[in-house]
């Protein structure tokens, strides 16, 4: 069956080309995305990089120090040995829908061009994944992120929000860091809702090391959850990669919620990305007596994030219009009592009655209205069960 072998060879060659580019081009690359958008084939681009062909343009510079090393076969093997696989735009499980939406938005919003980090505002060229299919998991996803220095309050809020989102099966995306991220992933697992860790290092590594067991549980969660990264095997976590990773957390989610973040928390960077990529930026308020929610408050104050206090309010912002009525929960939990529902004049009349009987004229004089209007309102109040009639007098019920 020579044709089959050819197809497999072809497939394998493309895969190696993607793996090679994933290795020699660190993180997102606007020039590479540009070439792909122009219809250039991945194998042709990989060949162009290796042969230093001028038409690859700025990619020449981006690959200058690394182009000589082709460790594609080795990287694919390392990934496989660690239960990971390469996911590329060729694959059905490639999350093209959220990525197109997010990076298409930033392309369209030309006023963002030139802002800090602008060169990173492009899609990843490849992903390394353990667990379920990114495309499926990211269909209904919300990012829940926050400080590593989590407080008891941040812990309670993260659990409350993720439990609420789990009830409607939203995928919880986060960065796998200690603190809020960890509580978000753990609560998702515990409540049977999908979760995605977006890591800032190669798929055979775990950062932070303390979360190794958690990441293994996520990768092994019956294909419901996943650990993904745009970095190939061997890449260790680094500050600049966390910032680049944050863009992917935001890009894969319909909205990003920062639960707890102090003044210069990295979680706020994810919020900035959410706003840039056209998804909903949300922040949870907290006590102003500590510094834990300072960053959240600043973003709300400046109009850069929407204040949210519950899973319902998050859903109201990220689900199609009219699906959720977050206001209703309060109306339901705190209905107005019969007295709060009275009009101003009714209130004046009611206030003019007491537990002792009072003739209509006195009630009218106290309320400052005519006797005939007082009678009219008193009869109404009687029907509402608020006052009782004693002959020509009135007194409050109960």
- Binding residues for a second copy (CB under 8 A): 26, 61-62, 64-66, 116-117, 120, 153, 156-157, 160, 238-241, 243, 262-264, 284-289, 293-294, 297-298, 300-301, 306-310, 313, 330, 333-334, 336, 339-340, 344, 347-348, 350-352, 364-365, 368-371
Query: How far, in Å, CA of 341 to CA of 336, rounded?
Result: 6
The smaller minimum CB distance to a second copy, of residues 185 and 241, is found at 241
- The least CB distance from residue 3 to a second copy, in Å, is 40
Pairing of strands 280-283, 306-307: parallel
- The least CB distance from residue 10 to a second copy, in Å, is 30
The smaller minimum CB distance to a second copy, of residues 196 and 317, is found at 317
The smaller minimum CB distance to a second copy, of residues 219 and 280, is found at 280
Pairing of strands 387-390, 358-359: unpaired
Residue holding tokens 């959220």?
98
The smaller minimum CB distance to a second copy, of residues 10 and 240, is found at 240
Helical spans, DSSP H, in 109-191: 134-137, 152-167, 180-190
- The least CB distance from residue 163 to a second copy, in Å, is 13
- The least CB distance from residue 167 to a second copy, in Å, is 17
- The least CB distance from residue 162 to a second copy, in Å, is 14
- The least CB distance from residue 216 to a second copy, in Å, is 26
Helices (H) and strands (E) in the chain, counts: 18, 12
Query: How far, in Å, CA of 160 to CA of 313, rounded?
Result: 12
The smaller minimum CB distance to a second copy, of residues 39 and 303, is found at 303
The smaller minimum CB distance to a second copy, of residues 166 and 243, is found at 243
- The least CB distance from residue 31 to a second copy, in Å, is 13
Query: How far, in Å, CA of 383 to CA of 385, rounded?
Result: 5
Q: Are 59 and 49 in contact (CB under 8 A)?
A: yes
The smaller minimum CB distance to a second copy, of residues 4 and 239, is found at 239
3-state secondary structure of 124: coil
Pairing of strands 387-390, 195-198: unpaired
Residues belonging to the chain? 398
Which whole-number Å values give the CA distances from 27 to 14, 176, 229, 324, in the listed order?
19, 18, 10, 37
Which whole-number Å values give the CA distances from 207 to 113, 194, 336, in the listed order?
32, 20, 51
Supply the DSSP symbol for 320: P
């Amino acid at each position: 069956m020579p044709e089959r072998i050819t197809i497999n060879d072809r497939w394998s060659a493309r895969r190696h080309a993607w793996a090679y580019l994933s290795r020699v081009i660190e993180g997102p690359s606007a020039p590479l995305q540009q070439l792909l958008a122009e219809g250039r084939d991945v194998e042709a681009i990989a060949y162009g990089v290796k042969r230093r062909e001028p038409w690859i343009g700025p990619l020449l510079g981006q690959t200058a120090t690394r182009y000589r090393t082709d460790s594609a076969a080795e990287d694919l093997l390392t990934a496989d040995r660690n239960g990971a696989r390469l996911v590329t735009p060729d694959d059905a499980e490639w999350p093209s829908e959220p990525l197109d939406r997010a990076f298409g938005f930033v392309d369209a919003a030309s006023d963002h061009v030139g802002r800090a980090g602008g060169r990173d505002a492009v899609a990843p060229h490849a992903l390394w994944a353990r667990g379920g299919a990114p495309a499926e998991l990211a269909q209904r996803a919300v990012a829940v992120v926050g400080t590593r220095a989590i407080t008891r309050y941040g812990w309670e809020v993260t659990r409350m929000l993720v439990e609420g989102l789990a009830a409607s099966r939203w995928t919880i995306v986060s960065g796998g860091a200690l603190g809020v991220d960890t509580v978000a992933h753990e609560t998702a697992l515990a409540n049977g809702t999908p979760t995605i860790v977006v890591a800032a290092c190669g798929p055979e590594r775990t950062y932070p090391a303390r979360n190794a067991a958690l990441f293994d549980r996520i990768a092994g969660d019956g294909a419901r959850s996943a650990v993904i990264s745009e970095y190939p095997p061997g890449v260790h976590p680094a500050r600049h990669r966390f910032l680049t990773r944050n863009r992917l957390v935001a890009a894969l989610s319909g909205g990003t919620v920062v639960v707890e973040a102090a003044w210069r928390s990295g979680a706020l960077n994810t919020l900035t990305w959410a706003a840039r990529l056209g998804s909903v930026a949300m922040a949870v308020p907290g006590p102003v007596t500590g510094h834990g929610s300072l960053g959240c408050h600043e973003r709300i104050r400046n109009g850069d994030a929407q204040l949210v206090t519950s899973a319902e309010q998050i859903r109201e912002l990220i689900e199609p219009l009219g699906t959720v009525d977050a206001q209703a929960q309060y109306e339901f939990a705190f209905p107005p009592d019969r007295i709060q529902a009275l009009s101003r004049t009714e209130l004046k009349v009611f206030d003019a009655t007491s537990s002792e009987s009072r003739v209509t004229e006195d009630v009218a004089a106290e309320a400052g209205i005519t006797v005939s209007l007082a009678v009219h309102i008193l009869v109404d109040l009687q029907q509402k069960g608020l006052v009782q009639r004693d002959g020509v007098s009135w007194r409050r019920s109960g």
